Structure 1
Amino acid sequence: MKVKKILLLFIFLLVGSLTCLGKVQASTDTSLQHVKQKGTLVVGTSADYPPYEFTVKQNGQTKYVGLDIEIAKQFAKNLGVKLEIKNMNFDSLLVALETRKVDMVISGMNPTPERQKSVDFSKIYYRGKQYMLINQKDATRFKNIHSFRGQTIGAQTGSLQYQLVQQQMKGNHLKGLAKLNDLVIALQSGKVNAVAMEEATAKAFAENNTSLKVINPNFNVKASQTGSAIAFHKNSPSLVAAANRTIDQIKQKNLINQKYIPLAGKYMSNNSRKNTMWNYWTYFAKGIEYTLLITAVSVCFGFVLGTLFSLMRLSKIKIIHLLAVWYIEFVRGTPLMVQVMFVYFGIGTVIQAMPALIAGIIAVSLNSAAYVAEIIRSGIQSIPIGQAEAARSLGMSQHEAYRYVIIPQALKNIWPALGNEFITLIKESSIVSIIGVGDLMYEMQLVQSATYKGVLPIFIAMVLYFVMTFGLSNVLGYFERKMKHA
């Protein structure tokens, strides 16, 4: 009985402490002050959602435009700070917000009760219906939710539309993807029969592609689920209040209907007239530059770290050997995508100033090091033990034996496998696009968003990746032949 009383008292004190802590945090909110002090409002968005947010090319540069971007501009102006846009996958936005990589998220996001548990939301700034995008040839087949029974429906993961299809179209197959552009490609190629999206966005795609059509499937949408709002980090009342003042100002002047939406439509119309691939060659060039940069740096660091871990694994000192084994097995046993997200969102919470490019390079380098370590270890173990014994009999130390006898011979054996790892890095570096690094894959997605063309940018990116890997393969082959004659 005494133990129970002590336990109840402990629980009471713990709950009281947490309550007090929450009140202290709320009363000492510095979210608005923090943004003003650093002089920059960092905004997270997924720029593939016209007319809310999308990209256009102006003077050879990528520009983020749309209804949401105009609201973000006005908010930053009212705060007297600069605006910085971070473009990433929609389902990564709230993670970026919670880990403070961004100050706010504006991306046509619905303030659902589930999301409100994790983040704070501003007032609703725009309401739109939930529509379906279908192929024009299917216009007579699909009229409402019931006519889609047994069909495959696409929706953006993490979106309200994904939830609506999941809950109200249970007789259908649901296909979720992170990018709307990919869903539209799937629709045009027959992989899905329809794509659920917000009204204005569906109409934007249909107006720029005559093979597509918009219908209203009559989703049963609750009032609490409709509308778009700005998301902020939990317990940021001062920043939310400032955003609400901006939204009130915008609504009072009716800027959304009179200025922002017409302006977005103008950008979309101009973009449609200039959407040839040649106009976007600078995007692909920038993507190649970042891809090669990430690959080159990761190859250098990966090789150095890989060599170190291979020697550690061959060490007779147990703790050093085990550390190397644990690292190599752990890295090889987890996906690179997860590692990239952990470095950026996980370690990035400790090192707030870490840029996405640096996080991507670190993750790719650490991943490559594990594979390089195993390649080098196997190469060293392929050298007959007599070589090391002969070197030691000549008076060489173990270090000298490895440096002058073992490693040079092992390098000839492992060069083909090492070359394959370097070539693989060019392709695997594309994963860093999920955290907003402007590599070739990221730039390809920007071109898709800007041109409303899905397959052609993919084909161009595929050719460019082939050119890079084939070129590197020939360079590595040249050195391999030189080694054979050495």
Structure 2
Amino acid sequence: MKKLIKIFSVLLLLVSAVVTGALATGPAATVSAASSKNVKKVASGTVLKKIKKSGKLVVGLSADYPPLEFTKNVNGKNKYVGVDIELSKQIAKDLGVKCEIKNMDFDSLLVALETGKIDVIISGMTPTAERKKSIDFSKIYYAEKNDYFVINKADKGKYKKTSDFKGKTVGAQTGSLQYTVMKKHGLPGMKVKGLAKISSLLMGLKSGKFDGVLLGELNAKTYAMNDSNLALVKSTLKQDQMGNAVGVAKGQKDLVAAINKTINKCQEKDLFNKKFIPAAAKDMKTATKKSNNSMTKYTSYFVTGLEYTMIITICSVLIGLVLGVIFALMRLSSNKLLHAIAVCYIEFLRGTPEMVQIMFVYFGIGMLVKNLPALVAGIIAIGLNSGAYVAEDIRSGINSVNIGQTEAARSLGLSQAMTYRYVIFPQAFKNIWPALGNEFITLTKDSSLVSTIGVGELMYQTGLVQTATYRGVMPLFITMCIYFVLTFLLTRLLNFLERKMNLSSSRA
């Protein structure tokens, strides 16, 4: 047992050193800022070679921005559609490769590009001066002339011009140009609130959380066209720059040249106005029909989300349980090094937000381990976090066992390992079972956090349904019910096992 713990401690010490060093050099900071100068840059001229070698172009986007990028239900399966999707396919075709879409939160795209998780960003992104510090851009492929405030139609008489939003609360997508514009050139007293998803912003608008939501022209007109309860007010806030471009990692001049060649061809043939936008409008019209908005048509989405949620939960529980036992024993050890490692691990993991840990494992550790899947990264991060809490539960359980039990076992000739296995652990787990059960239930709900890195669990699938149906509340209600049923059944199972343990101990 001691040898096993020492081996684990050495490995964990090495991992801790790597993680600490990585934190000090910047990837964790890029999670929120997405513009760290310390991120390990992609080597010049390597991305196009990687694309050619792999035979696929990995495009990062946030599929909640119709008509540029959104989702459509095709025979129960999710399909990405929109102007940017068509452009992505055209670029991939000209490069002689397949197009792979990776959907994630908009404010995570820059980090994903800088760390090599995606090859390009094609998500209605404007090449601002701040973004150009981190990545390079193609030429402008589509320019929107104006931004618009989306308001509730009932407030149409209240808000007629930009100045009417003075002192009001206005929402915008975090990381978007509109969010930056309001922060820099907003009206006196204007309160700017940012959320990752536009669907969440519009739900906030309808529920009175926001007085308006600032969106780009195409996006704003799309939502207003498909929701009779919304109206638009043209924005006159100062714009530093307008237009959408393809984001590429620094130093990839050959890839930028290839993308610009495709954009030039599309603009010369006027494909945006003749093909891409009409196709997106047709997809939107199909998606917004009442017959296609029924939640029953999206059953497969929720089933897929539930499957991923269960996989994440079960794997994370096993990782957390194993790590919990190891670190509980290390913290109780008389060895100062083992004790110190356990304390650092437990305190650090319990003292930092789980979402930051998930993003750090995916973007930060993912730089060291190439091609780390988002699902694996999410499981590792949640398992590591759970291990810290389970360790403290197990430690308290071990401490609750009377010392006389240990002394009696050792006097009967049992080794330390056998004493823990046959005497201490059975009693400790019985004492802490309610606490462990609570941790497992919490972990089931925490699995929703991995949606931020594009894992297709329940919350991720809910976002797809919201975007595809233009309905915000109903998909959330269904997801909430699924989580309730899941946790309710898990609670009943844990209570049943607890009664069995109590029954077996009373018989003994």
Shorter-chain TM-score bucket reads over 0.9
CA contact (8 A) 2:302 2:461 kept: yes
Give the deviation of 1:26 after TM superposition. 11
Q: Which amino acid aligns with 1:162?
A: Y
Counterpart Cα distance in 1 of 2:44 and 2:113: 19
- Higher mean alpha-carbon deviation, 164-173 vs 249-258, is at 164-173
Give the deviation of 1:74 after TM superposition. 0.1
- What is the Cα-based RMSD across aligned positions, in Å? 1.2
Deviation per residue, 1:343-400 (Å, 9 max, x gap): 0000001112111000000000000000010000000000010000011111111111
User: Which of the numbers 39, 52, 68 marks the counterpart of 2:68?
Assistant: 52
Cα 1:26–1:95 change in 2 (3 A) is closer
Q: How does the TM-score come out when normalised to structure 2?
A: 0.89
Partner of 1:188: 206
Give the deviation of 1:28 after TM superposition. 5.8
Q: After superposition, where does 1:214-225 map in structure 2 within 5 Å?
A: 214-222=232-240, 225=241
- Higher mean alpha-carbon deviation, 162-171 vs 124-133, is at 162-171
Asked if residue 442 in structure 1 is aligned to residue 427 in structure 2, the reply is no
Counterpart Cα distance in 2 of 1:408 and 1:202: 60
Partner of 1:137: 154
Partner of 1:101: 117
Give the deviation of 1:217 after TM superposition. 2.1
User: Which of the numbers 151, 173, 176 marks the counterpart of 2:168?
Assistant: 151
Q: How does the TM-score come out when normalised to structure 1?
A: 0.93
Q: After superposition, where does 1:74-223 map in structure 2 within 5 Å?
A: 74-128=90-144, 129-166=146-183, 167-222=185-240
Give the deviation of 1:265 after TM superposition. 0.6
User: Which of the numbers 400, 410, 418 marks the counterpart of 1:392?
Assistant: 410
Q: After superposition, where does 1:360-375 map in structure 2 within 5 Å?
A: 360-375=378-393
Question: Residue 186 of structure 1 aligns to a residue in which SS?
Answer: helix
Give the deviation of 1:168 after TM superposition. 2.7
Q: Which amino acid aligns with 2:113?
A: L
Counterpart Cα distance in 1 of 2:79 and 2:42: 36
Asked if residue 318 in structure 1 is aligned to residue 336 in structure 2, the reply is yes
Counterpart Cα distance in 2 of 1:139 and 1:100: 45
User: Which of the numbers 50, 62, 67 marks the counterpart of 1:34?
Assistant: 50
Give the deviation of 1:149 after TM superposition. 1.1
Deviation per residue, 1:291-330 (Å, 9 max, x gap): 0110001111110111111111111111011111110110
Give the deviation of 1:40 after TM superposition. 1.0
CA contact (8 A) 2:43 2:251 kept: no
Asked if residue 463 in structure 1 is aligned to residue 443 in structure 2, the reply is no
CA contact (8 A) 2:83 2:277 kept: yes
Query: Which of structure 1's runs of 4+ aligned residues deviate more than 4 A?
Result: 25-28
Partner of 1:327: 345
Give the deviation of 1:220 after TM superposition. 2.2
Partner of 1:478: 496
Counterpart Cα distance in 2 of 1:293 and 1:29: 38
Partner of 1:230: 246
Partner of 2:16: none
Partner of 2:29: none
Counterpart Cα distance in 2 of 1:41 and 1:26: 16
Counterpart Cα distance in 1 of 2:42 and 2:502: 69
Question: Residue 142 of structure 1 aligns to a residue in which SS?
Answer: coil
User: Which of the numbers 257, 262, 269 marks the counterpart of 1:241?
Assistant: 257
User: Which of the numbers 411, 415, 433 marks the counterpart of 1:415?
Assistant: 433
Q: Which amino acid aligns with 1:116?
A: K
Question: Residue 320 of structure 2 aligns to a residue in which SS?
Answer: helix
> Which segments of 5 or more consecutive residues in structure 1 lack a partner in the other structure?
1-24
CA contact (8 A) 1:31 1:238 kept: no
Counterpart Cα distance in 2 of 1:88 and 1:26: 20
Question: Residue 401 of structure 2 aligns to a residue in which SS?
Answer: coil
Q: Which amino acid aligns with 2:359?
A: M
Partner of 2:24: none
Question: Residue 124 of structure 2 aligns to a residue in which SS?
Answer: coil
Give the deviation of 1:238 after TM superposition. 0.4
Partner of 1:9: none
CA contact (8 A) 2:42 2:115 kept: no
Partner of 1:354: 372
Partner of 1:257: 273
Q: Which amino acid aligns with 2:371?
A: A
Counterpart Cα distance in 1 of 2:470 and 2:44: 46
Cα 1:27–1:455 change in 2 (3 A) is closer
> Which segments of 5 or more consecutive residues in structure 2 lack a partner in the other structure?
1-40
Q: Which amino acid aligns with 2:71?
A: T
Counterpart Cα distance in 2 of 1:153 and 1:319: 52
User: Which of the numbers 358, 383, 389 marks the counterpart of 2:401?
Assistant: 383
Counterpart Cα distance in 2 of 1:170 and 1:102: 39
Deviation per residue, 1:401-458 (Å, 9 max, x gap): 1111111111110111001111111100100000000000000011101111111111
Give the deviation of 1:141 after TM superposition. 1.2
CA contact (8 A) 1:30 1:238 kept: no
Counterpart Cα distance in 2 of 1:308 and 1:211: 56
Partner of 2:5: none
Partner of 1:7: none
Counterpart Cα distance in 1 of 2:43 and 2:200: 44
Q: Which amino acid aligns with 1:132?
A: F
